[in-house]
Amino acid sequence: MADFTSGFWQWYIFILVVLSIAACFVLISWMSRGKKPTKVETMGHEWDGIEELNNPLPMWWLYMFYITLFFGIGYLLLYPGSGVFGGAFKWSETGQYDQEMRVAEQKYGPLFEKYRTQELAAVAANPEALNMGKRLFMTYCTGCHGSDAGGGPGYPNLRDSDWLYGGEPEQIKASIMNGRSGAMPAWGAMLGQEGVFNVSEYVISLSGRKASADAAAAGKEKFQQVCAACHGADGKGNQALGAPNLTDNIWLYGGSQAAIMKTISEGRNGRMPAHGEFLGEAKVHLLAAYIWSLSHLPEVKAQK
Amino acid sequence: MTQDKNPADETEKGQDEKEKQYVPSLIEAQAEIAAKRNRPDRTSVTSEPVSKPGTGQRVVTLAEADAATEALYARHKKVYPRQVTGLFADLRFVMVAITLGIFYGLPWINWGAGRQAFLIDLPGRKFNFFFWTFWPQDLFYLSVILILSALLLFFFTAIFGRVWCGFTCPQTVWTEVFLWIERKIDGDRMKQMKLAKMPWNSEKLLKRSAKYSAWILFSLWTGFTFVGFFTPIRELTLSAFAFALGPWETFWVFFYGFATFGNAGFLREQVCTYMCPYARFQGAMFDKNTLIISYDKVRGEPRGARGRVVDPKAQNLGHCIDCTLCVQVCPTGIDIRNGLQYQCIACAACVDVCDTVMAKMNYPKGLIRYTTENALEGKPSRILRPRVILYGSLLVAIGAALVISVLLRVPLDIDVVRDRNTLYRETVEGLVENVYTLRVLNKDNEAHTYRLSATGIEGMVLHGETENMAIGSGDVRELAVRLEADPARLKERSSKITFHVEATDNPKLRDSEEARFLGPVIR
């Protein structure tokens, strides 16, 4: 009712409703009183032997009108619909939603809850729990990470062994619960076009790919000044900051030289939303177990 | 009836004939009769109820009929159809036996050990039909069957008129059984009417309770059988005798029992005249070549009572002896001699009874008969008309398509949903990846192991659990797969690919589904 900030409208609707019902009542009783005609009168319209007659309303029809009127009054007394008077049941859409969610929680909550206290690795070994985790993943995660959890440009691959914030089960769970926010600042202005190119050559060489030795050497100098603070002197990244490992040839925003140069000069911002409050810890626990299992399939199979 | 001897009528008739040189069609004749009946000067002539000598039966006059139609709130007049024997009555008996036999018998047939041959298993979401099992994914067949049923109705209605109503409609069939019970307990039409007028004495109480009990038992059996199409009927019988039916089973048994009791016991012809949409729209499918039940007005009029030995021509009478038996046998309470009416369900009871009377009078049969408007007008009737040919060819074509597609049906289904989070992914090796979610449904009665593959682009590789996929009967397996292709091989930005699924133990079980593979085009 946020649109109706003035109490006037509530009263306006209330009065309209009461007047309309009263008017319908008066109209129907007035129409049904009158003098009962004793014989059939015609309206004078005839076509092909079919005449329009001036008969009164059939009684069952009239009663239906009365029944709908009384039904309407009863409904408005119990449920909202007449403005200022909200109905005796105090019903509301949000109230019903909360109620249904409570019922669902009571019914389905225990199914998720029983795994919450188990070790994540143990949960991952339970096929039933894995299936539940997979369902949850298909519902909540595929939009960004893909239904095979392979990610996409800007969204990390969850099946490999490269983790921005750590791949331990508890670290994965923390990422889902609280979300993550990764920021790579834009260095274009500071490094200049040539500097960006040199640094990109160096970064490419870190993964063992072919790069110009001169440019990489120049880039290494800049890297130690600018990038090492987060990515480390050896470029292996820092999981505490979410700074990616630059030596494994796995690229969140694309591994081509153009993509790397764009990342360095314009920066990147990645955000994983927090799901703890939305899904509840029990479901996140199952999700974390499923995601962890994706990169530990041999171990999971061995545990079975 | 008496009004035909009315001189005023004679002059009017003469005028009508001058105006219309052709023989009026049935609908026009009906309108004409209706117009005459509404004329106020007519009522005074026939206000006296006429007793037919010898029979002691009272004949309903038109004035009474008029009074009934002119009352503002006409009470429903109960129809007591007189029992009839003859060709069409026998035919109806056969149809009742066949249709009810199917209804009450079908759920008891098993196909395979413990598997009901006809079962709509709603909780299990499957439908057993003899050796087939259908799943919700096969709902398509249901729509084809409904279309076929509609066409069948159109086809038969165009040729034979409302035969569906008169011989096979559940309303007619169950009413027929209820009428039979009524006759066994209350006696014939006269006794039924007498009993209805009787005050509540012990005889009436006894007969009424006997009749209603018999009706209720039959209705409950009907409701029970109906539920047996949805719940295995043998289990249902056991739980019924143990008084352990589920709440919904109980509800539906009583609901359908009550519907049977009310429809076949009390509403009867009112369902056809006031409630049934098919009754009305079948009328719109008639043409002048459609078989209808009609009274031969030319031969029958002027009607009137006469002795058996009298030559009707000498008395200026037609063949109708005005015995009103055709009205008495009519389950919808109409007088067929007034022409084609929307209430007529084409049960042909009047044909049977009139033929017996004609035989007794030594007149030729068929004063009331199956005929067409064209035949009544002395024109030739054609069976093959454009609409019949159209309905017929559509029926054959769709029917054949249904049979072929059911015979070729593979109890396996694959659905492909392409991931929408990204158009494509590039791997470090420079390959392009697309991700798909596949849903494989095993619609067979046994579990199978399946193998997945994909074709469409040279050198394409399918990653995922593509081998030895075990799926139980009626189960769905959902799995994410990823396809990898060399962008140099892509000819378009969106290439057509095909996923194939095949049972490893039975190569006949195979299905495929098309999808798109997106990727950059390198020129």
Indicate whether A139 and A288 sit together in one domain.
yes
CA nearest B35 in A: which residue?
Answer: A49
Structure token digits, residue A238? 């820092």
Is the omega angle on the peptide bond into residue B40 within 30 degrees of 0, that is, cis? no
CB contact under 8 A, A145 and B421: yes
Total number of domains constituting chain A: 3
d(CA B338, CA B62): 11
Indicate whether A18 and A144 sit together in one domain.
no
Residue of B149 and B421 predicted with greater confidence: B149
d(CA B320, CA B299): 8
Least reliable range by pLDDT among B26-35, B204-213, B299-308, B439-448: B26-35
Indicate whether A124 and A241 sit together in one domain.
no
Residue of B89 and B313 predicted with greater confidence: B89
Low-confidence residues of chain A: pLDDT under 50: 1
Name which of B31, B100, B96 is nearest B347 in CA terms: B96
Question: What's the pLDDT score for residue A41?
Answer: 79
Is there a contact between B268 and B174 (Cβ–Cβ < 8 Å)?
no
Question: What's the pLDDT score for residue B225?
Answer: 96
Is there a contact between B114 and B121 (Cβ–Cβ < 8 Å)?
no
What residue type is assigned to position A62 of the chain?
L
Question: For the domain with range B412-518, which CATH number is right: 1.20.120.330, 2.60.40.10, 2.60.40.1080, 2.30.42.10?
Answer: 2.60.40.10
Output the CA angle B185-B187-B191, nearest 5 degrees.
125
Indicate whether A169 and A215 sit together in one domain.
no
Q: Range of A225's domain?
A: 182-272
CATH of the domain at A264: 1.10.760.10
Choose among B35, B70, B482: nearest Cβ to A148: B482
Indicate whether A72 and A60 sit together in one domain.
yes
Indicate whether A219 and A159 sit together in one domain.
no
What are the chain A neighbours of B72 within 8 Å (beta carbons)? 36-37, 40, 55-56
d(CA B509, CA B519): 32
Domain assignment present for A203: yes
Indicate whether A12 and A146 sit together in one domain.
no
Indicate whether A154 and A223 sit together in one domain.
no
d(CA A164, CA A180): 10
Indicate whether A167 and A189 sit together in one domain.
no
DSSP B85: -
> Best interface-test mutation with A: which of B421, B429, B463, B465 has the largest number of A CBs within 10 A?
B421
pLDDT, one tens digit per residue, over A29-51 is: 887 776 666 777 788 888 888 88
Domain assignment present for A83: no
Residues in B whose CB is inside 8 Å of some CB of A read 31-32, 34-35, 70, 72-73, 419, 421-422, 425-426, 428, 433, 435-437, 464, 478, 480-482
d(CA B455, CA B513): 11
- Locate tokens 């769905």: which residue? B476
ipTM: 0.73
CB contact under 8 A, B481 and A148: yes
Domain assignment present for A1: no
DSSP string, B227-256: HTTTTTHHHHHHHHHTT---HHHHHHHHHH
- The domain ranges of chain B are 2-75+287-376, 87-138+183-281, 412-518
Name which of B499, B505, B483 is nearest B414 in CA terms: B499
Q: Alpha carbon of A126 to those of A133, A147, A288, A292, B197: distances in Å?
A: 11, 21, 13, 13, 77
Choose among A37, A59, A147: nearest Cβ to B419: A147
A37 close to B (CB below 8 A):
yes
Name which of A275, A286, A282, A278 is nearest A176 in CA terms: A275
Name which of A232, A221, A219 is nearest A260 in CA terms: A219
Domain assignment present for A96: no
CA nearest A131 in B: which residue?
Answer: B478
Question: What's the pLDDT score for residue B46?
Answer: 39
Indicate whether A186 and A268 sit together in one domain.
yes
A35 close to B (CB below 8 A):
no
Question: What's the pLDDT score for residue B125?
Answer: 86
| Partners of B50 in the β-ladder | B59
What residue type is assigned to position A74 of the chain?
G
CA nearest A148 in B: which residue?
Answer: B480
Mean pLDDT of B204-218: 95
Mean pLDDT of B26-41: 49
Domain assignment present for A93: no
Is there a contact between B341 and B162 (Cβ–Cβ < 8 Å)?
no
Conformation bin of residue A235: beta by default, left when phi > 0, alpha when psi is -120 to 50: left
* Residue B512, H or E segment: strand B510-518
Indicate whether A132 and A201 sit together in one domain.
no
Choose among B73, B426, B437: nearest Cβ to A254: B426
Chain A residues 161-220 within an 8 A CB cutoff of chain B: none
Least reliable range by pLDDT among A289-303, B292-306, B326-340, B435-449: A289-303
pLDDT, one tens digit per residue, over B58-78 is: 445 544 545 444 455 567 788
Choose among A55, A56, A152: nearest Cβ to B422: A152
Domain assignment present for A94: no
Question: What's the pLDDT score for residue B56?
Answer: 43
For B47, list phi and psi in degrees, rounded to 5. Answer: -75, -20
Indicate whether A245 and A194 sit together in one domain.
yes
Residue of A262 and B21 predicted with greater confidence: A262
Given pLDDT bands bounded at 50, 70 and 90, which one contains residue B19? very low
d(CA B439, CA B413): 8
d(CA B225, CA B236): 9
Q: Does the pTM of the predicted model rise above 0.80?
A: no
Q: How far is B10 from chain A (nearest CA, A)?
A: 21
> How many C-alpha atoms does A53 have within 13 Å on its Cβ side?
15
Question: What's the pLDDT score for residue B9?
Answer: 41
Is there a contact between A48 and B31 (Cβ–Cβ < 8 Å)?
yes
Mean pLDDT of B114-141: 88
d(CA A272, CA A144): 10
CB contact under 8 A, B31 and A48: yes
